[in-house]
Amino acid sequence: MQIIEDNLIKEKVYIEKLENGMTLMCIPKRKALKKYMICGVNYGSIDYKFKVDDETIEVPEGVAHYLEHKMFEQENGRNSLDVLSSLGVNANAYTTNDHTAYLFECTDNFDEALNELLDYVQNPYFTDENVEKEKGIIRQEIQMYEDEPDWKLYMNAMRALYKNHPIRIDIAGTVDSILKIDKDILYKCYDNFYVPENMAIVVAGDFNPDEIFDNIKSKLKDSKKVMKAKKIEEIEPEEINVEKIEDKMDISTPMFIIGFKDKNDGKERVKRHLAIEILLELAVGSSSELYKELYEKGLIYSEFSTSYEFSRNFAHCLIQGQAKDVDTVIAKITEKIDKMIEEGINEEEFERIRRKIYGLYVRDFDSVQNVATTFITNYFKDINPFEYIEEYLTISKEYVEGVGKEIFAKKNMILSIINLKD
């Protein structure tokens, strides 16, 4: 068993790599009332093209999400979500661009919930009938998101940023693509990706690592499956796809995203992530001069949301907001960013924001849900979350300024706008 410790925040993670390749992680939280478990698979919506031996396989878009939906249905006729709910357990699952996760949080009945989760994740049951039945449900979900302004705004931003990368495609697929999914496709993807060495389990709470690892191992099947699938990456150019995508929807206030396409060469990913978080907070954070000015003038109604997203072969940052006069607000934001990059960052402001973000990150370790999700998400990116703590303390103003000059170049910028219907 490996133990990784961060002496600054007094946190430890216990890691055991099993003989079959699966990774177990435990973050002990003494006297915590809640327990959290998440089982992740390194398989997401962008993984619809892969190679097995010499065969190239392309499945319909949305299979990873469809698979997640169908995992709960069992051969004995019960639905595992209903079983977990009857135990008083808060259970769920989700699919992202690069991984799928099954999880639950509880105060009692942890062992029973653990047994149920590992049972349904290891024993898929797909039939022609139950796969066909799900198509109507997922079609409604896709159509619901198509009518959701925030989602439409985001997907248009992805289509502006990327020319070829499958992040352009809705995680759930399309109405047409899901019609092509059958039980054989689901089993093929399950058998190729739900493989122990392509999976990890994280538990956080008041656990003894040795005991919980023994407990989990006793419930794992003696799987001999090995990872044969090789994911096929789309070749994505460095430049953006289009500068602007505009749409109209039945909304009360126009919405916008300013996006910047970033490079993702695998180097200094953590440090670069932190630098961009600091830059975004300095530019448009709730304590920034620009935010105060726009709010006091009534040009915006709420705080901007900012994010930096990265994984295999993609990376970008987004600034999202609502404004009566979108063009004026976008111009103000880009003007502020340009000025910040040209004149440099104020040392005092830099230190204040760096400490603020550091504090927020440390606070995440108080939540069993946040810390477990952080570890599973970063595990599939080959990142140790404690690296963020270390980098926060060493990152320099000069490094942040250098990153800003790279990512905020005009050639990297796109706009996604949704206006009011006429």
CATH number at residue 367: 3.30.830.10
| Residue 38 and residue 155 in one domain | yes
Predicted confidence (pLDDT) per residue in 93-149, tens digit: 999 999 999 999 999 999 999 999 999 999 999 999 999 999 999 999 999 888 899
The two three-digit tokens of residue 197, written as one number: 């060495």
75 assigned to active site: no
Catalytic residue among 11, 16, 68, 236: 68
| 361 within some domain | yes
**Distance between the two ends of the chain, CA-based, in angstroms?**
63
| Residue 211 and residue 319 in one domain | no
Q: Please, which residues have CB within 8 angstroms of residue 255's CB and are 6 or more apart in sequence?
A: 149, 150, 153, 320, 321, 322, 326, 417, 418
- Under the banding of pLDDT at 50, 70 and 90, the label for residue 407 is very high
| 239 within some domain | no
- Under the banding of pLDDT at 50, 70 and 90, the label for residue 374 is very high
Mean pLDDT for the stretch of residues 155-174 = 95
Domain boundary among 189, 210, 231: 231
pLDDT above 70 as % of the chain: 100
| Residue 217 and residue 134 in one domain | yes
Residue 224 confidence (pLDDT) above 80: no
Question: How would you list the strands of the sheet with 314-322, edge to edge?
Answer: 244-249, 413-420, 255-261, 314-322, 305-311
Evaluated on CA atoms 368, 47, 418, 408, the torsion sign reads positive
Question: Quick one: pLDDT at residue 226?
Answer: 86
Name the 3-class secondary structure at 193: helix
Domain boundary among 170, 198, 231: 231
- Under the banding of pLDDT at 50, 70 and 90, the label for residue 301 is confident
Highest mean pLDDT among 2-16, 262-276, 368-382: 368-382
d(CA 51, CA 338): 44
Is there a contact between 59 and 391 (Cβ–Cβ < 8 Å)? Answer: no
Domain boundary among 182, 201, 231: 231
Torsion of CA 59, 62, 66, 69, to 10 degrees: 150
| Residue 208 and residue 134 in one domain | yes
| 238 within some domain | no
- Under the banding of pLDDT at 50, 70 and 90, the label for residue 267 is confident
Q: Please, which residues have CB within 8 angstroms of residue 335's CB and are 6 or more apart in sequence?
A: none
| Residue 278 and residue 306 in one domain | yes
Residue 233 confidence (pLDDT) above 80: yes
Mean pLDDT for the stretch of residues 202-216 = 96
Predicted confidence (pLDDT) per residue in 8-62, tens digit: 888 999 999 999 999 999 999 998 999 999 999 999 999 999 999 989 999 999 9
- Under the banding of pLDDT at 50, 70 and 90, the label for residue 302 is confident
Question: Quick one: pLDDT at residue 3?
Answer: 93
Residue 422 confidence (pLDDT) above 90: no
> Domain tally for the chain?
2
Predicted confidence (pLDDT) per residue in 304-331, tens digit: 999 999 998 899 999 999 998 999 999 9
| 236 within some domain | no
| Residue 38 and residue 80 in one domain | yes
Q: Please, which residues have CB within 8 angstroms of residue 171's CB and are 6 or more apart in sequence?
A: 44, 45, 62, 64, 65, 95, 96, 97
pLDDT above 90 as % of the chain: 82
Q: Provide the domain limits for residue 126.
A: 2-231
| 223 within some domain | yes
Average pLDDT, rounded, for the chain: 93
- Under the banding of pLDDT at 50, 70 and 90, the label for residue 81 is very high
| Residue 191 and residue 267 in one domain | no
| Residue 145 and residue 70 in one domain | yes
Predicted confidence (pLDDT) per residue in 290-299, tens digit: 999 999 998 9
| Residue 140 and residue 267 in one domain | no
| Residue 282 and residue 331 in one domain | yes
d(CA 311, CA 323): 30
Question: Quick one: pLDDT at residue 27?
Answer: 96
| Residue 405 and residue 266 in one domain | yes
Mean pLDDT for the stretch of residues 280-302 = 91
| Residue 178 and residue 77 in one domain | yes
Is there a contact between 232 and 391 (Cβ–Cβ < 8 Å)? Answer: no
Residue 161 confidence (pLDDT) above 90: yes
